[in-house]
Amino acid sequence: MLPPGSTIGILGGGQLGRMSALAAAALGYRCHVFGPEADSPGMQVAAARTVADYTDAAALARFAAAVDVVTFEFENVPAATLDALAPLVPCRPGVAALRIGQDRIAEKTFLEAAGIPVGPWRAVQTRAELDAAVAALGLPAVLKTTRMGYDGRGQAVLRSPGDAEAAFARLSPHPLILEAFIPFEREVSAIAARGLDGTVVTFDLAENRHADHILDLTIAPAQVPDAVAVQGRAHVAALATALDLVGILALEMFLLPDGRLLANEMAPRPHNSGHWTMDACQHGQFELHVRAVAGLPLPQPGRHADSIMKNLVGPDSYAAWPRLAACGDVALHVYGKTDARPGRKLGHATRILPSGSLAQHRDPALLSPL
Ligand code: AMP
């Protein structure tokens, strides 16, 4: 167990690093944030900071010497950065989980090997392979870049064979991945934390609703049959163990009308769909992440309330903060971003509801006043 006063190094200066650093401070740790942008949300609350590129070997060596353990909050940190740090300082999670999470083909392959169901998919390197994949999977289907895609970027829905040409030309670099279109009923996510000793704890399943391809609402707990919730938690726990992960892991899944869950994506880091845990659970995802990374015991996270988390995306949604700040049942989190462009996540607000209240509403999202 790292004693209080130790320093946790965080690669990435976004809001996930900021909230990790705040949780670390509550446990008596200092955080040293490493990233390319000064005055980023994470840097603002860090005890120490290095503004440097992820490929700056000298800066990485100094960073390694200054911290007791390294984690990351940004999944597109180059794997080579962790490779450079790993001989010098413990990195949690390790580079294997980072590499798998960065590549949709590696991710799908790993999920399947771990026994977690995914929808039908094909790797697509060439135009001819795309035609073969379309023939095999049928249409509609979703063509995606394998790397650096997020919030719906780097993907195209193919509805007719005529869509293939333009989508293949637009999306690069290749290889791409073609996924069968999943006619899901809902999107849910499960989050697990896994400790140094292999202990795994999981949060309640949550339902995610998107607007313009960006997460808009998370409703927790998801209003799904118990068997679905148990299955979702089992999937993320099995994945955390298969990855030999130390830290937090999110697994996004599609819920089919017949009750089956198909995994879509994983993220070996705190996740936007877990922000509700900060205010509705005894131990939130950022605290459990810090505990895992620092070698502390992992308590069951518990949940003392129902909740609906709303992302504050872009200046229009952020304009609501004075009103939200006046709501007694809303926990408000603002990330300190200096550039409030449309489409950027600037904060989130979680409405806390008495336990059990979501179950009484046909569409719990209507309980969100945010
Ligand atoms: P992703 O970047 O993979 O998380 O995809 C972003 C969103 O696109 C998901 O949250 C879904 O709403 C939708 N989507 C992605 N893949 C599929 C699929 N194979 N079938 C249906 N919808 C999908």
Express as a percent the part of the chain with pLDDT over 70. 99
Residue 131 has φ and ψ, to the nearest 5°, of: -60, -40
Give the single-character DSSP code of 279.
Answer: H
Mean pLDDT, rounded, for 127-135: 98
Each domain of the chain, given as residue ranges in start order, spans 7-91, 120-180, 186-367
Q: How far apart are CA 228 and CA 129, in angstroms?
A: 35
Q: For residue 310, give the H/E element and its range.
A: strand 306-313
Integer-rounded Cα radius of gyration of the chain: 20
Mean pLDDT, rounded, for 254-283: 98
Residues flanking ligand 1, CB < 6 Å: 119, 142, 149, 152, 179, 181-182, 187, 210, 252, 264-265
**Pairing mode of beta strands 186-194, 200-202:** antiparallel
- pLDDT for the residue numbered 282: 98
Residue 226 CB burial class (10 angstroms; 0-12, 13-18, ≥19): exposed
- pLDDT for the residue numbered 92: 98
Mean pLDDT, rounded, for 270-288: 98
Nearest atom, ligand 1, residue 119 CA: 19
Q: Does domain 7-91 have CATH number 3.40.50.1820?
A: no
pLDDT classification of 285: cutoffs 50, 70, 90 = very high
- pLDDT for the residue numbered 145: 96
And the tokens for 26?
A: 């509550």
Q: Does domain 186-367 have CATH number 3.30.70.1400?
A: no
Report the nearest-CA residue for atom 4 of ligand 1: 265
**pLDDT over 90 (residue 149):** no
Mean pLDDT of the chain: 96
pLDDT classification of 68: cutoffs 50, 70, 90 = very high
Q: What's the distance, CA 307 to chain centroid?
A: 18
- pLDDT for the residue numbered 368: 82
- pTM flag (> 0.75): yes
Return the CATH superfamily for domain 120-180. ATP-grasp fold, A domain (3.30.1490.20)
Q: How far apart are CA 72 and CA 69, in angstroms?
A: 10
Digit-coded pLDDT (tens) for 160-180: 999 999 999 999 888 999 999
pLDDT classification of 150: cutoffs 50, 70, 90 = low
362 alpha carbon to ligand 1 midpoint, in Å?
25
**pLDDT over 80 (residue 216):** yes
20 alpha carbon to ligand 1 midpoint, in Å?
27
- pLDDT for the residue numbered 369: 67
Q: Which of 264, 265, 273 to mutate to test the pocket of ligand 1 (most atoms within 8 A of CB)?
A: 264
